[in-house]
Amino acid sequence: MWLKPEEVLLKNALKLWVTQKSSCYFILQRRRGHGEGGGRLTGRLVGALDAVLDSNARVAPFRILLQVPGSQVYSPIACGATLEEINQHWDWLEQNLLHTLSVFDNKDDIASFVKGKVKALIAEETSSRLAEQEEEPEKFREALVKFEARFNFPEAEKLVTYYSCCCWKGRVPRQGWLYLSINHLCFYSFFLGKELKLVVPWVDIQKLERTSNVFLTDTIRITTQNKERDFSMFLNLDEVFKVMEQLADVTLRRLLDNEVFDLDPDLQEPSQITKRDLEARAQNEFFRAFFRLPRKEKLHAVVDCSLWTPFSRCHTAGRMFTSDSYICFASREDGCCKIVLPLREVVSIEKMEDTSLLPHPIIVSIRSKVAFQFIELRDRDSLVEALLVRLKQVHANHPVHYDTSVDDDMASPVFHSTSMCGDHRFGDLEMVSSQSSEESEKEKSPLLHPDALVTAFQQSGSQSPDSQMSREQIKISLWNDHFVEYGRTVCMFRTEKIRKLVAMGIPESLRGRLWLLFSDAVTDLASHPGYYGNLVEESLGKCCLVTEEIERDLHRSLPEHPAFQNETGIAALRRVLTAYAHRNPKIGYCQSMNILTSVLLLYAKEEEAFWLLVAVCERMLPDYFNHRVIGAQVDQSVFEELIKGHLPELAEHMNDLSALASVSLSWFLTLFLSIMPLESAVNVVDCFFYDGIKAIFQLGLAVLEANAEDLCSSKDDGQALMILSRFLDHIKNEDSPGPPVGSHHAFFSDDQEPYPVTDISDLIRDSYEKFGDQSVEQIEHLRYKHRIRVLQGHEDTTKQNVLRVVIPEVSILPEDLEELYDLFKREHMMSCYWEQPRPTASRHDPSRPYAEQYRIDARQFAHLFQLVSPWTCGAHTEILAERTFRLLDDNMDQLIEFKAFVSCLDTMYNGEMNEKIKLLYRLHIPPALTENDRDSQSPLKNPLLSTSRPLVFGKPNGDAVDYQKQLKQMIKDLAKEKDKTEKELPKMSQREFIQFCKTLYSMFHEDPEENDLYQAIATVTTLLLQIGEVGQRSSSSGSCSQECGEELRASAPSPEDSVFADTGKTPQDSQAFPEEAQADWTVSLEHILASLLTEQSLVNFFEKPLDMKSKLENAKINQYNLKTSEMSHQSQSELKLSNL
């Protein structure tokens, strides 16, 4: 254990301790009298002294000291009761600290660094022990208080766990604390008088990987868009990395992949996520992937035990996994033995008598008269009790109907056995439990095809019938022998022997049934009698976009096979695909599902093919068949990493492995069915149903390895793809009883020279021998790693597409636009982090067009406006932001897109003066300004109405300027320009004009030319009030000059021209304002613009260049602070209300 460092003098301890190991900074010592074979007097005395001491005062026999070169003072930092324990601490110091200390120049800094690190490890060990004992973790509460104080997040930012570690800055490590919360990775360090804070949102992480640097063999590297950060010196790096992996995966999929991602129930509420929940999720994911079980299956217990395996005549050590509906077992030795027992098949679970030979045994009996014996089960009583409760529940939900009828094909010797497994039939699960349901379904749905299509459309092959039958009979005989010894139901023992049989190719007569067993689709089939028939009836005759896509692809599905050259096969394919689209609207129908379903229909009955499709789409190939095929892209990325690991020379030659994706992506989406002759590809599907996606990975590697020499000599990507296509098209299956059915992607059917043929059995055997070492756990970890890259790749694509559309339409620099996009997206994300979803605020929707995937509401817009807008008006800024949002919200859905946001900013920063004034004008008329505007009652209203003084103003130099002539000339010019205006804006009422003036006054506050601007705007305001009164008097008396009358008539807005009029509201209620503020008082945009142009200081203000970069830099720093301060203010307000 680690010790709190305390200084000791070594010379006083020389007689009691013996040095075992030493390095520049550490010494490992053994207590005299421990581990000595001889009878030295000193050792005996020390041993006797330790023996008579009270147990609490005894000294541990091993310790590690920290020594600073040149000092006589040492500090014990670890002790151990055994040599193994103390060696673990020594190894940790060598791997994590020893090489690091050389970077320090000061010896005191070394001692301070090591002592701080050891104290942090002690605190971490304490918190871990408390968590394990499920007691109130005081240390965790202390860490939570520090986390909240240091990072000032809202209460909704839940801390999941924390670790002591070092963050590397160049070659210097910074000792501190790593805090992992539901949305962020945070690091805090205060070392040698310097404070360091890092906050990295999980959604910004593009890579999360374990790596090494010059000083350390193992570090965790976090890569974001612009930076890489290394963290090391963890007490348990494996645990830390798994928790980080889980948090990153959960958060990214929750926020970026919510199209099809369904969180576990325990993770639905992010604020309730704990470290234990994440560890349970990791176990659940592994369990479901390893046994290929439904996603809804929840793991309850993992217990070490041994299973009696009759074929080896001994007990096999392994682990039992129990879940909602299954009992599963996997041997410790990979591939030795695995079983899957659906509770639906279990008849009884009983405890046997405990003996020395059979400690803590239980017997699990299944319907096919087979019993499985498990021994060495800890907590057997509670385990059996929990299993019996779930067994009762499963049988209550899905009653089992027994039937003694026998199908014709089941009566053959292949499916009958009198072995140790009992007298039962192969596949009796699906046949017995669903027999009655099948009959009733045939009555309800007579259109369903009763048999596998291959039986109705069987063709003779090129070989002689005797040769074909002999090969099939040999395979059937081998499988029959296997069934006798290992079982023939879904509960069979799955060993390396069955894998070899599958690699040889399953006999055609057994293929469909074994696919059902290996995928466990047979359990779904038995548990849902009549379900498929009902789906077919419900979906028949319905027409939508999905059914149109299905109809379009029906005749492209194995068109060379006779089963799909007539309406029988086409109709069955249509029913299965339409029924599945009806069952799972999230997936609906995706291309490549038609090819896969066609092959399933060849070897399985129609209803069986439907449940096989369910197993593939929802269980075996998760997230493959959706809008963005995320799952297939993730596995494609994993495949590229496997190529680099197994075929480095090929990877080096093909610099951009993504070029292979154009051909290899279809390997994963169609399981090689679309690019390999059918009779060969079905053998690949055999392996897939037994081994899952692992079979596709290793076969893909085998294909590349077989062509590595040609690929390395290829001149370009096109030639490389042609080599692969030709090779795949010439893979044959000599054992196939049917005729060759070529791939409909054959590129070289007219070769001049015969191309060498590869047998599929040889290729599959090579794939298992050379590349079969990938475990399910390794593949799942690679998927976690590459899912981050794929999701971030989609985010980058979205960003680039949005910017590509926006850049030509604005004058903002591309690099500034990128910064603005990041701020816009982060504002959206922060609301997802800490706020309950509001009715108007929609989360990220990847199915929408790129420009509409991220949108913000009024509150989020107000934050961004305050951060990046150049029109800051003090307290008036928030009101101006509200009006701007209403103006930009064209469709009035309370959300705006990035394009509208930057177009507005572009006008503010880069627009001409007339464009800026026009924008300000529009912000003070409907729909931006409403009757219920928060600032509608202005204190400026009454003083501004006093406009009876003449239009003559004094200048500082004593001159006077008469604006009467300027006004007349201005009106004439405006009348001439009227025809050039495409669409007129409505005139501004006096109330709206007052708000316009107030905004201008607010904008000039704290400007260097503030006084000149105030004087100028006062002049312009008075001038415009006179203009409005002139128009008002002219309108009422009819005594206006001709030019003025024409101008007023021309500028009067009509309902047809007023594009900003709110058709849902009545005209302004004149009673809401004083008598003087009648609707007749109006000024137009042209009046305002012309008046502002008369004052040079105003012209200078609106035409001066504005610096966006400084605003963006400040926004990046302050965006979080602004949001958190608002959240804390809201929580305080809610607390006050609750206390009232």
**How would you write 65-92 as a 3-class SS string?**
EEECCCCCEEEEEEEECCHHHHHHHHHH
Q: Is the pLDDT of residue 879 over 90?
A: yes
Residue 938 pLDDT level (bands cut at 50, 70, 90): very low
Cis ω for the linkage preceding 342 (within 30 of 0) = no
pLDDT at 967: 55
> Are the CB atoms for 996 and 918 separated by under 8 Å?
no
Cβ neighbours of residue 1018 closer than 8 Å, sequence gap 6 or more: none
Give phi and psi for 845, each to the nearest 5: -125, 100
CA distances from 716 to 644, 651, 708, 728, 809 (A): 19, 14, 14, 19, 38
Please tell me which residue, 993 or 100, carries the higher pLDDT value: 993
3-class SS of residue 182:
coil
Please tell me which residue, 1077 or 520, carries the higher pLDDT value: 520
Distance CA 1072, CA 1078 (A): 11
Structure-block tokens of residue 534: 């009902």
Structure-block tokens of residue 323: 């879940």
Summary mean pLDDT of the chain: 80
Helix (H) or strand (E) holding 781: helix 776-806
Helix (H) or strand (E) holding 1004: none
> Are the CB atoms for 127 and 140 separated by under 8 Å?
yes
Burial 308-344 (b: 16+ CB within 10 A, else e): bbbeeeebbbbbbbbbebbbbbbbeeeebbbbbbbbb
Please tell me which residue, 999 or 962, carries the higher pLDDT value: 999
pLDDT at 378: 87
Distance CA 385, CA 980 (A): 87
289-306 pLDDT, tens per residue?
999 998 889 999 999 999
Distance CA 905, CA 922 (A): 15
Of 409, 411, 506, the residue nearest 450 (C-alpha): 409
Query: What are the CB-based long-range contacts (under 8 Å, 24+) for 747-754?
Result: 747/722, 748/722, 751/726
pLDDT at 865: 95
> Are the CB atoms for 87 and 142 separated by under 8 Å?
no
Query: What are the helix (H) ranges across 807-912?
Result: 814-834, 858-868, 877-888, 898-910
Least confident of 748-757, 769-778, 820-829: 748-757
> Are the CB atoms for 143 and 154 separated by under 8 Å?
no
Helix (H) or strand (E) holding 321: strand 314-323
Structure-block tokens of residue 927: 């729909």
Q: DSSP letter for 626, please.
A: S
Distance CA 18, CA 65 (A): 12
Helix (H) or strand (E) holding 118: helix 107-132
Least confident of 35-49, 523-537, 603-617: 35-49
Helix (H) or strand (E) holding 220: strand 219-223
pLDDT at 971: 58
Of 217, 143, 132, the residue nearest 178 (C-alpha): 143
Percentages helix, strand, coil for the chain (3-state, rounded to 5) are 55, 15, 35
What average pLDDT does this structure show over 565-592? Answer: 90
Residue 44 pLDDT level (bands cut at 50, 70, 90): low
> Are the CB atoms for 1025 and 947 separated by under 8 Å?
yes
pLDDT at 1053: 39
Q: Is the pLDDT of residue 14 over 70?
A: no
Please tell me which residue, 548 or 755, carries the higher pLDDT value: 548
pLDDT at 458: 63
Q: Is the pLDDT of residue 131 over 90?
A: no
Helix (H) or strand (E) holding 975: helix 963-977
Q: Is the pLDDT of residue 420 over 70?
A: no
pLDDT at 747: 42
Distance CA 554, CA 578 (A): 11
Distance CA 658, CA 665 (A): 10
Amino acid making up residue 269: E
pLDDT at 57: 39
Distance CA 416, CA 426 (A): 7
Sign of CA dihedral 636, 642, 644, 648: negative
CA distances from 645 to 111, 734, 983, 1003 (A): 41, 32, 65, 62
pLDDT at 36: 56
> Are the CB atoms for 584 and 625 separated by under 8 Å?
no
Please tell me which residue, 1059 or 897, carries the higher pLDDT value: 897
Q: Is the pLDDT of residue 111 over 90?
A: no
pLDDT at 155: 82
> Are the CB atoms for 506 and 678 separated by under 8 Å?
no
Give phi and psi for 520, each to the nearest 5: 60, 20
pLDDT at 121: 80
Distance CA 669, CA 724 (A): 17
Sign of CA dihedral 862, 867, 869, 875: positive
Amino acid making up residue 166: C
> Are the CB atoms for 563 and 601 separated by under 8 Å?
yes
pLDDT at 494: 94
- Rounded to 5°, the CA angle 807-811-817 comes to 50
pTM of the model: 0.78
What average pLDDT does this structure show over 1043-1054? Answer: 39
Cα maximum dimension of the chain: 130
CA dihedral of residues 645, 651, 657, 660 (deg, nearest 10): -100
pLDDT at 1130: 65
Distance CA 394, CA 344 (A): 6
Q: Is the pLDDT of residue 98 over 50?
A: yes
pLDDT at 1074: 39
506-561 pLDDT, tens per residue?
999 999 999 999 999 999 999 999 999 999 999 887 778 888 999 998 988 888 88
pLDDT at 130: 39
Distance CA 1016, CA 1097 (A): 7
> Are the CB atoms for 625 and 587 separated by under 8 Å?
yes
Structure-block tokens of residue 122: 């002690």
Distance CA 1024, CA 1018 (A): 10
3-class SS of residue 977:
helix
Q: Is the pLDDT of residue 413 over 50?
A: no
Distance CA 47, CA 708 (A): 67
By percentage, how much of the chain surpasses pLDDT 70?
77
